[in-house]
Structures are given as structure tokens and as C-alpha cells.
């Protein structure tokens, strides 16, 4: 069956360190993979999109990698700050369907 | 630009009652999606409109749920009659007519069925 897995355990890291979040999927062949941030009581907010033919994408302190062989995406936040504390969701676009499938999200807490 | 707005933000109803959720997408966004998050689970796809047409409603749980998007602008999602398992947060999202476009989400409607 099709599945997207994100580490359901909360991730606690010290301010200034790099946070690395993982998104693994099975039985999908996504054309795109997106990362979103969600704060309590709010809707998800788009962060980055990476295409299947791209290995890496960067935006300011954020970096996403996409390995279609391993069926995995890694999301990095460098020089993390307490304001980065949130739940981070990965979402897969099923090619041609305009339909996005979300993982359960990983809660990140950056400790001052 | 104004974001995606959803109304109401919270709704508490009794089992068997009817509730209608509304979503106003970003102006000009042809694609409108409804998603739902049940406690502890992932955000799950319900359905997708392109303008006023239902493109994909494969995620709708059953025929107690009815979504409409008259005129291709705002959308409503009606639950009738509501059951306890319908409780959750209902999100609406919109995007332009490009497949790689990010989704713009509203802040959701928290529905509690008692």
C-alpha cells in the first residue's frame, strides 16, 4: 500500500544546531515533493518544492534533498532558532493528478 | 493578496445535525481542495475542484458529505447528518492552475460532533 512516513517522535535540538527531518515514502512515484510548516491552530504554510529530477533545493537557512532511488527526502534547517519550532509536513504530488498526499508531520522544538 | 479564508473557525454540533463549512480561496485560483485532519492522523485529501467542476472526490468518506463550488469561486462542504467520527479539522487550500504550485491553506474549521 502507499505510505508516507515522517518521524512521529518530536525532535528537540539546541538553538544554532542543524535540524534534519526525514520523509520516506513507498509505492509512490511523485513528480514533486513539498515541505510545509504548520503552527498550532493554523493551516500549513508552504516552504519548499523539489522536483523528481532535482537532487537538492535551498532557500535561506532551509535545504531539501530528494532521492527517488531511496524514496526519501531530507529537510534541513541550519542555524536553528526557537522561532523554527513547529510541525513540518512533507507532501507528495502524484504526477498528473493535482492531488497532494501528506505525511503525519514531525514536531520540531528548538531549545534556547 | 488576501489568503484563503474559512468559516467558521470552530463548530460544535450534536450527532445527527447538519453543518456547512465555507471556504473562500485566493482570487484567481482555479484549484480548490478540501482536506481533513482527524486527531493524531495525517492531513487527508477529501476532494479537488477545478473551477466549478469536481476533479477528484475519491477522498470523500461517504455520501453524508457534499461539496459544492458554484460559479467556481467559494466552496461549501456540508455534512449531513453529522456523526461522531466526523470530528476533526477541515482545511481548505487553493492553488493556481499549475501542477507544481504550492497549496495555500486556510486556518481550518475545527468541527466537534458530540
Residue from the list B43, B56, B102 with its beta carbon closest to the beta carbon of A46: B102
Alpha carbon distance B70, B76 (integer Å): 9
C-alpha closest to that of A32 among A77, A93, A96: A93
Nearest-neighbour CA in chain A from B10: distance (Å): 11
User: Nearest 5 degrees, angle CA A20-CA A105-CA A18?
Assistant: 15
Which strands sit side by side in the sheet containing A19-26, from one edge to the other?
A3-6, A19-26, A72-77, A62-67, A56-59
Predicted local distance difference test score (pLDDT) of residue B101? 84
> What's the rounded Cα separation, in Å, for the pair B98 and B101?
5
Percentage of chain A lying above the pLDDT 90 cut: 73
CB A47 within 8 A of CB A61: no
pLDDT band at A9 (very low <50, low <70, confident <90, very high): confident
- Judged against a pLDDT cut of 90, whether residue A50 lies above it is answered with yes
Q: List the single best residue of B29, B31, B42 to mutate versus A (max A Cβ within 10 A).
A: B42
- Which residues are paired to A86 by β-bridges? A108
Best of A50, A96, A99, A106 to mutate (most B CBs within 10 Å, chain B): A99
With a pLDDT cut of 70, the percent of chain A lying above it is 96
Give the Cα separation of B88 and B82 in Å (integer). Answer: 12
- C-alpha B36: how far from chain center: 7
Reported confidence tier of residue A1, pLDDT bands at 50, 70, 90: low
Read off the pLDDT of each residue in B93-97 and give the average, rounded to a whole number: 89
pLDDT of res. B46: 96
Chain A to chain B Cβ contacts (< 8 Å): 57
Rounded to 5 degrees, what angle do the CA atoms B32, B33, B39 make? 150
Asked if the Cβ–Cβ distance from A103 to B42 is below 8 Å, we say yes
pLDDT in tens, B1-53: 689 999 999 999 999 999 999 999 999 999 999 999 998 889 999 999 999 99
Out of B50, B100, B107, closest to residue A43 by CB: B107
Nearest to A101 by CA among A53, A36, A11, A42: A36
Averaged pLDDT score across all residues of chain B: 94
Give the distance from CA B28 to its chain's centroid: 18
Q: In this predicted model, what pLDDT tens digit does every residue of A69-112 receive, in sequence order?
A: 999 999 999 999 999 999 999 999 876 667 788 999 999 999 99
Amino acid at each position: 500500500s502507499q505510505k508516507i512516513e515522517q518521524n512521529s517522535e518530536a525532535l528537540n535540538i539546541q538553538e544554532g544546531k542543524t535540524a534534519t527531518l526525514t520523509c520516506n515514502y513507498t509505492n509512490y512515484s511523485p513528480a514533486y515533493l513539498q515541505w510545509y510548516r504548520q503552527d498550532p491552530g493554523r493551516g500549513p504554510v508552504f516552504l519548499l518544492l523539489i522536483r523528481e529530477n532535482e537532487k537538492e533545493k535551498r532557500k535561506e537557512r532551509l535545504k531539501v534533498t530528494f532521492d527517488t532511488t531511496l524514496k526519501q527526502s531530507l529537510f534541513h534547517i541550519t542555524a536553528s532558532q526557537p522561532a523554527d519550532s513547529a510541525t513540518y509536513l512533507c507532501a507528495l504530488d502524484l504526477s498528473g493528478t493535482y492531488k497532494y498526499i501528506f505525511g503525519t508531520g514531525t514536531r520540531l522544538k528548538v531549545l534556547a | 493578496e488576501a489568503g484563503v479564508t474559512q468559516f467558521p473557525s470552530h463548530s460544535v454540533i450534536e450527532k445527527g445535525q447538519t453543518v456547512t463549512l465555507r471556504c473562500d480561496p485566493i482570487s484567481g485560483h482555479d484549484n480548490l481542495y478540501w482536506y481533513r485532519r482527524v486527531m493524531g492522523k495525517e492531513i487527508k485529501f477529501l476532494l479537488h475542484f477545478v473551477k466549478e467542476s469536481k476533479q477528484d472526490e475519491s477522498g470523500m468518506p461517504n455520501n453524508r458529505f457534499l461539496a459544492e463550488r458554484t460559479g467556481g469561486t467559494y466552496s461549501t462542504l456540508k455534512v449531513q447528518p453529522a456523526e461522531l467520527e466526523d470530528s476533526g479539522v477541515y482545511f481548505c487550500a487553493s492553488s493556481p492552475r499549475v501542477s507544481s504550485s504550492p497549496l495555500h491553506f486556510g486556518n481550518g474549521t475545527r468541527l466537534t460532533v458530540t
